[in-house]
């Protein structure tokens, strides 16, 4: 089996999943699984595989509507922390809707990002990452699509030598755009133009789409429209 979608399930199904988890063979029930779509419920560990390449995590409607969703949050955070990432290429996390507090998962998702390797090409999440996780993500060499909902790390928190990957699609959301543009300006001004290579040099050549979703503040006038090589305007 290569693909599994774990949607909401009745309580009986969850009990069955947990029983299967307790009796799981050494290499798991689905050792060749590559795609996991998980509408978060307990016992998703049953579907973990060392060959996972694409993971999509969504918020369960019943979790958000539950009278005590906090009762399930520790188990879900623990499962997120344990996601296998050795071959991971795409990670999309859509948590934070339906009353589920996305900030609760900052530590667990940050720990996952810190374990991601050069195979990761796409990352999408509204969850704020730790500065260490953001530092790691920024410097993954094959990252091409980045949809980030969190604020950028502080300028002083970035670890030199810093080089952004050659992104082709970059999306900023929910009030983060101004902070990210300010960070880009700081990074470019730190390196004299005569040195040529700056932290954003690769992005300036590769970027095809720059998208800002629901910007709450006016954007700087210097960047070009989203479909242009807009990072060029931030060179010193």
pLDDT by residue for the chain (236 residues), tens only, comes to: 555 555 555 445 566 666 666 666 666 667 788 998 887 666 667 778 889 999 998 875 555 455 555 667 787 888 889 899 999 999 999 876 556 677 888 999 999 999 999 999 999 998 999 999 999 999 999 999 999 988 998 888 887 778 899 999 999 986 888 899 999 988 888 776 556 688 999 999 999 999 998 744 444 444 444 443 433 333 33
- Assigned domain for 12 exists: yes
**pTM surpassing 0.85?**
no
Instruction: Provide the number of structural domains found in the chain.
Output: 2
Task: Kindly compute the dihedral angle of the four CA atoms of residues 58, 60, 66, 71, in this order, to the nearest 10 degrees.
Answer: -60
Neighbours of 214 (CB within 10 A): 9
- Assigned domain for 201 exists: yes
SS3 of 181, please?
A: helix
Distance, CA of 52 to CA of 50 (rounded, Å): 6
Distance, CA of 42 to CA of 117 (rounded, Å): 26
Angle between helices 73-81 and 106-115 (to 10 degrees): 10
- Assigned domain for 157 exists: no
Give the per-residue pLDDT at 215. Answer: 45
Per the structure, the complete domain to which residue 205 belongs is given by 164-236
Give the per-residue pLDDT at 234. Answer: 39
- H or E stretch at 173: strand 169-173
- Which token pair is 158? 């970035």
């Amino acid at each position: 089996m290569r693909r599994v979608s774990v949607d909401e399930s009745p309580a009986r199904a969850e009990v069955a999943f947990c029983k299967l988890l307790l009796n799981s063979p050494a290499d798991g029930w689905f050792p060749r699984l590559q795609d996991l779509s998980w509408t978060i419920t307990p016992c998703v560990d049953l579907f973990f595989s060392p060959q996972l390449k694409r993971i999509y995590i969504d918020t369960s409607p019943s979790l958000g509507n539950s009278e005590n969703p906090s009762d399930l949050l520790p188990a879900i955070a623990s499962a997120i922390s344990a996601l296998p990432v050795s071959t991971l290429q795409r990670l999309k996390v859509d948590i934070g809707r339906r009353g589920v507090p996305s900030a609760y998962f900052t530590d667990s998702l940050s720990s996952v990002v810190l374990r991601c390797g050069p195979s990761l090409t796409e990352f999408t999440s509204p969850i704020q990452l730790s500065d260490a996780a953001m530092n790691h993500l920024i410097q993954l060499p094959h990252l091409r699509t980045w949809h980030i909902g969190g604020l950028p790390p502080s300028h002083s928190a970035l670890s030199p030598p810093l080089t952004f990957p050659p992104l082709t699609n970059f999306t900023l959301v929910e009030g983060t755009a101004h902070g990210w543009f300010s960070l880009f300006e700081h990074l470019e001004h730190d390196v004299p133009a005569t040195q040529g290579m700056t932290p954003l040099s690769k992005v300036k050549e590769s970027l095809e789409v720059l998208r800002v979703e629901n910007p709450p503040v006016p954007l700087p006038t210097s960047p070009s429209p989203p479909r242009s090589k807009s990072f060029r305007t931030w060179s010193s």
